[in-house]
Amino acid sequence: MAFNSISYGILFLVAFGGAWLLARHQRLRILFLLVVSYVFYASWNPKYLGLIILSSTLDYFVGGAIYKTESGIKRKWLLTCSLAVNLGILCTFKYFNFFSREFTHLAGVFGVSLEPWHLNVLLPVGISFYTFQSLSYTIDIYRKQLEPAKWYFQYLLFVAFFPQLVAGPIVRAKMLLPQFWTQPRVTNEHGSKAIFLIGMGLVKKVVIADYLGAHLVDPVFSNPQMYSAIENLTAVYAYAFQIYADFSAYSDIAIGSAALLGFEIPINFNAPYTATNLRDFWQRWHISLSTWLRDYLYIPMGGSKNSSARTYFNLMATMVIGGLWHGAALTFVFWGTIHGLALVGTRVVQRSKIKSHLHPMVAKIIATVLTFNVVCAAWVFFRATDFQTAIMVFKTIATGGVSIANLSLPAAGILGGALLIHWIPQHWIEHAKIVFSKVPSFIQAIIVIGLIVVSDKLAQTDVAPFIYFQF
């Protein structure tokens, strides 16, 4: 049940009506939204509903036990139990076949012939997201930064809250849990801004992401040697905007949907391709994941408190694990490695005493262009199905061919438009939200219907799933 489907629209209307009818009855509202969230999740594969319930139940009781005990040893054992079960489930479904395959290959290098074990299971949708969200709860209680949830079903809803369940943002318990007990309020202005976000998300998804994917990115990456250098390079840039438009669209619709239900969840993107270095990029891209990795992985490993060498190791380890989090393939590990090396390089430059003699504006433009191209080079490995395809893309680009015979004008136009829109100042967008919220409701309805019609005309025959559903 994707956000850009009719079935989601129907489910959300049911959720919206029921949630506001029960606005004064917190427990009933929690139970109602929990049922809606489980229906939403079960629409992909109902048999995996038990996994999210198991994970949530474990962490609810473990979190409560950690809070009540003062014994340091018991607290550590309880936290270890939560980590072991959650990560064990994640590794079994997402990484077992990957590690089994790679171990078999490694054994072959040493002359040992083995048959890899293979689990014939599907990857549960959103497991990486809700696992990290649930783990942050027990870790925060262990750190004495959070009190446990007041009610079992409140915690179940925190983990399974349907707007952000499948692909984030990864919301911290201290932000979302208290909202379940407060009286929801949505003013006309807030509601209008939420509708604006949802409309913007739909346009990003259907008009930009899906169109670029179907008409430029997918054909080139499926057979890069059949296209010229300029067409391959354009496809690489197109993928950068496809994945941004696709993922930020999900976040926009999630934030807007939650806002219409009376909840606030954090932003997840902030014009990432305007970043001037890789550190700046990760403060703008998938913000909820980057801050999670920082707070629960990088800082616990020592962060930047120790020697430079240890700091660089911590950065590399964090990004390699972040790459593996995205997918069980060496291409994702390599993608994370590239970002780790780029972050190390950024830190080395920032710590050096070398001063630029360029004009600040010129230096900023050069830094932004360089950062964008490093990110795009890494995206090649993220998008390619294997290393051979990624290398072929780079080899083809290196030939320097300038033919654009296979480059459609609409796709090029949408890519150019996406690039320009990305550079629109944030305060312009905020002003547009305010203007939209002040126009009469019937004009808002006309605008939204117009966006839906345009999106429908440009939509592919099949509803394309969001890219981050696979993670």
Residue positions annotated with a catalytic role: 326
As a whole number of angstroms, the distance between CA 266 and CA 172 comes to 9
- Biggest alpha carbon–alpha carbon distance for the chain: 74
Phi, then psi, of 40 in degrees rounded to 5: -60, -45
Q: Comparing C-alpha atoms, which of 353, 347, 354, 321 is closest to residue 335?
A: 321
As a whole number of angstroms, the distance between CA 428 and CA 432 comes to 6
As a whole number of angstroms, the distance between CA 320 and CA 39 comes to 35
Residue 398 in 3-state DSSP?
A: helix
At 61, list the tokens: 């009781």
Q: What residues contact 370, with CB distance under 8 A and at least 6 apart?
A: none
As a whole number of angstroms, the distance between CA 109 and CA 14 comes to 57
One-letter-per-residue 3-state SS of 185-226: CCCHHHHHHHHHHHHHHHHHHHHHHHHHHHHHHHHHHHCHHH
State the DSSP string of 140-187.
HHHTTS-PPPSSHHHHHHHHH-GGGTTT-----HHHHGGGGGSPP---
Q: Look up residue 408 and give its DSSP letter.
A: -
Q: Comparing C-alpha atoms, which of 152, 170, 367, 157 is closest to residue 275?
A: 367
Residue where the block lists tokens 């911590």 = 314
Residue where the block lists tokens 């459609």 = 408
Whether the link from the prior residue into 425 is cis, omega within 30° of 0, is no
Phi, then psi, of 285 in degrees rounded to 5: -105, 130
